[in-house]
Each structure stands twice: as structure tokens, then as C-alpha cells.
Amino acid sequence: MSTQTSSAAAMSAPSFLRRHGLWFFMLALMLVLPWVFYDHEKGRHSGFAITLLSEMALMSIFALSYNMLMGQAGLLSFGHAVLFGVGAYFVAHTLNFIRASGLPIPVELMPLVGGIGGLVCGVLTGYVATKQRATAFAMITMGIGELLTAAALMFMTFFGGEGGITTDRVVDTSIFGIPYTRPIQVYYLIVAWAMIAALLMFLQTQTPLGRMANASRDNYERTQFVGYDPKVIRYWQFILAGFFAGIAGGMYCLVYEIVTFDTLAAVKSANALLATYIGGAVGFFGPIMGAVLVVGMQSGVSLHTSAWLLYLGVVFIAMVIYAPGGLLGLFANHIPIARMGRLGELVVPYARILVPGLMMTLGFVLFVELTTHQTINAAQGKKFSLLGFAPDPGGTMVWLSAIVAMIGGALWVRHEGRFFMAKWNALIEDAKARGIVA
């Protein structure tokens, strides 16, 4: 991401493609993926895959909007789902209104309606929250989140209580004449809006506001000396983040056609936080990676195990301790070594750490699954199985091997980790000596 806006020369086709290739790649991937999971026998799309992909797209936008606060402005929010949820409620009510009044508002504009809902909510809650920063900001957002979640259960007219608001996206007001009866149609609408929203958020990082948000994150006092009011910067940034979170909420409403208080609740906010941090708050594309991973675990892994949240928590903690830059940061760390052309030297250290790493992970997973089976699943009458094997969960050998693999693997990883770090540090030192890393 260079700060310079590209001049006409840079706009020539090859360099334009190279610079923005990732965007085209993402778009192509999103357009093609539904057909990868196409069910040729039944001649229709896999409903599960479409819902999963839609969820990934809308969670990516939600996580990106979260990163406008966390990554860009250094504001840790624990109530971001409020903006998402209010956007979703706005869309649900608008759709119901269209159905009741027959007003020809196109369905295609629904995410924008959600965005406006999020924006309004951002203007109101942001006014209170952005008066403070750091821990106080985190606490205020948490308070607002809890407040609105509780209020959603209390006020029936807007939030619909526990049952939420149900709606129907098939209102026949499409400008393109698409009925939106099939999930694939909604999916492509979501892809379009996700691309627009992501692009806008990316451009926002290049604006003076985006830059000043970075400045107030890195050096709060100096920003004031330069003549900016950090409170105003925070407020604007919060409102814009609310707008994009609302767009994601609007997409959510279109996919599921029901909005409940869960969309406002702390778990949803926590998901955005986890996705953003695991993906990496340091770069623009990190949250997208994180959202795909979190949704994948939520929908994919949760089919196989009830302990998926534990795995997610462990991954998260490991990230916080060992890779504060998230997945994106991990990749970025390799760039200087790749530039020296010595990435190959890391293959052996990686291979050496992979074996004990796998052993530790398998031991841990086996141990967790055995425990969950004993306490939760056995009572539900489920049979124990892992990766196709079905050992007797009562046997001593299974437990023993799980514990030995877990602890032995951990010690072995520690041993190999030292070897790895020695090699890594030597390479980084070398890169520093050549002036590739600052």
C-alpha cells in the first residue's frame, strides 16, 4: 500500500493488474467458488456451501469495519455488533415496510439501508463512546453492547423481543428483475456489495481521515499538536465503521431473513474481534483471512465437534502470545527473507517443527474430544470417533497416548522451536545487514 496516488503512467495495464491483482483474484474466487461445490447429481447448488460463502463474505465486511477501529485507530471495541445488529434490524423493517406499502425500493439497495442504520447508530453511540479512548473506550462500548442487547429483549416494537423480526426478501422490487428466491441470487448480490464495501474501506485508509486515525493511534499527543482533535477523528472513524458494519448487517438480514437479538450480542462482537486479530490487524486484508477462518471453524469444525470454540480460543491465545501480527503478520515476516531469495533455507526448520507440532495438536485434539465425549456427548448417546477412527473412549491406552502425544509433542516443539528461532534470527540479521529490513 503506497501512500502516493498512482499517476497516469502507473495506470498502464500490467502494473495496474500487478498492484491490484489481489482484488481481481478475490472477486474471481468469490464468483467461481459456488460452482466448485455445485451438486451435479441433483443439478443445483449446495445450500450449505452458499450459506457458508455468504456468511464468510458478510463477516469479512464486518471484520474489516471492526479493523477500521482496531487496526486503524487503535480503538478496541467490545460492542461492535450493536452497529451490525441495528443495520440488520433496519433492513428487516424496511423489507416488511416495502411488502406492506408496496413502495418500490429495490432489494438491491437493502445493504445500503443497513449501512444507513449502522450510520445512525454510530452517530448516536459513537458520540458517547468516542469521548474516551483506550480502556475507557473498550468499557463504554461493552456497556453499550450489554445495554442494547438487554433492551432488544425488552422492546417489542423495534426489536421483536426474543423471537426477533422475521422478514421476506422476495418483495419483487428488483431493478434487474431478479426474484431472489434462490440463495445463489442473494449470494451474488452479497458478493457485489462486499466488493463495493471492501473497496470503499480500502480507499478510506488512503484519505486524510484514515491517515489521521493512524496518527492518533500511534501518537495521540502529537496529533493534537499538529492541530487535529483526536476526539473528532475517533468520532468520524466510528461513524464510518458503523456504516460498513451496518452494510454487513443488511447482508445478514438478506441471507437469513430473520434478525434476533443475537446479532447485537457480545458473542457477535467477540467474533469480529477474534476474526480481526487472528487474521491480522496490521494490514488491510488480514481481517478477511480471519473472517474466513473463523466462519470456517464456526460452520465446518462445529459440525464435527462441540469444542470448536475451545480450539478457536487456543488459536487466538497462541496468536496473541507468538504472533501479535496475526496470520497476515506471519506472512509479512517472511517477505524480507523471500526478497533475499533464501526462503528455501527455512524448509528444513519448518519440516522439523511440523512433525512434533502435528503430534502435539493431534494429542491435544484427542484429549479434548475424549473429555468432551465423557461429559457431554456420551449423555446424548453419540458414538466416539475421530478422523475415521473409533477407539473405545473408556480405554486407558487411548487416554494415555493422547496425554503422551500432547505433552511429549509440546516438549519436542519447544526443542525444535529453539533450532528454528536460531535459524530465523540469523536470516533476519542477515536481511538487516543488507538493509532489507529496517
Partner 1 sequence: MEVFVVSLLNGLVYGMLLFMLASGLTLIFSMMGVLNFAHASAYMIGAYFAYTLSLYVGFWVALIVAPILCGLLGAAIEMWGLRRVHKNGHIAELLFTFGLALIIEKVVQMTWGLIAVPYRIPSGLDFPLFDLWGTQFPAYRAFMLLISALMFLSIWLGLTRTRIGLVIQAALTHPDMAGALGHNVPRVFTMVFAAGTALAGLAGVIGGNYRVTEPGMAFSMGPIVFVVVVFGGLGSLTGCFIASILMGLIQTFAVVLDYSLADLLEVFGFVVTKATPGSEFLMVTLPRIAALLPFILLVLILVLRPRGLLGTRDT
Write out the residues near partner 1 by the rule CB under 8 A. 74, 76, 128, 131-132, 134-136, 138-140, 142-144, 146-147, 150-151, 154-157, 266, 270, 273, 277, 307, 309-310, 312-314, 316-317, 320-321, 324, 368, 371-372, 375-376, 379
272 grid coordinates: 469480529
Instruction: Tell me 4's DSSP state.
Output: S
Nearest distance from C-beta of residue 418 to partner 1, angstroms: 16
Nearer to partner 1, 255 or 264 (CB): 264
Nearer to partner 1, 75 or 240 (CB): 75
Nearer to partner 1, 303 or 433 (CB): 303
Q: CA-CA distance, 224 to 216, in Å (whole number)?
A: 8
Nearest distance from C-beta of residue 29 to partner 1, angstroms: 30
Nearest distance from C-beta of residue 151 to partner 1, angstroms: 7
Q: CA-CA distance, 77 to 398, in Å (whole number)?
A: 43
Nearer to partner 1, 12 or 425 (CB): 425
Nearer to partner 1, 173 or 237 (CB): 237
Nearest distance from C-beta of residue 213 to partner 1, angstroms: 16
Q: CA-CA distance, 57 to 292, in Å (whole number)?
A: 8
| 138, amino acid identity | A
Q: CA-CA distance, 388 to 136, in Å (whole number)?
A: 49
257 grid coordinates: 431473513
Sign of CA dihedral 366, 367, 372, 373: positive
**End-to-end alpha-carbon separation of the chain, Å?**
17
Cβ 195 vs Cβ 31: under 8 Å: no
Angle between helices 134-154 and 81-101 in degrees, nearest 10: 30
How many residues are present in the chain? 438
Sign of CA dihedral 319, 239, 150, 169: negative
Nearest distance from C-beta of residue 293 to partner 1, angstroms: 15
Cα 196 to Cα 59, 99, 202, 433: the distances in Å are 15, 27, 10, 42
Chain-centroid distance, C-alpha 320: 16
Pick from 24, 32, 60: nearest CA to 188: 32
Nearest distance from C-beta of residue 30 to partner 1, angstroms: 30
Nearer to partner 1, 266 or 436 (CB): 266
Nearer to partner 1, 194 or 402 (CB): 402
Nearer to partner 1, 288 or 312 (CB): 312
Looking up cell 517472511 gives 334
Q: CA-CA distance, 406 to 364, in Å (whole number)?
A: 5
Nearer to partner 1, 135 or 396 (CB): 135
Nearest distance from C-beta of residue 312 to partner 1, angstroms: 8
Provide the β-strand partners of residue 165: 259
Nearest distance from C-beta of residue 306 to partner 1, angstroms: 9
Number of H helices, E strands in the chain: 17, 2
Cβ 65 vs Cβ 201: under 8 Å: yes
Nearer to partner 1, 215 or 266 (CB): 266
Nearest distance from C-beta of residue 94 to partner 1, angstroms: 20
Nearest distance from C-beta of residue 141 to partner 1, angstroms: 9
Q: CA-CA distance, 407 to 110, in Å (whole number)?
A: 52
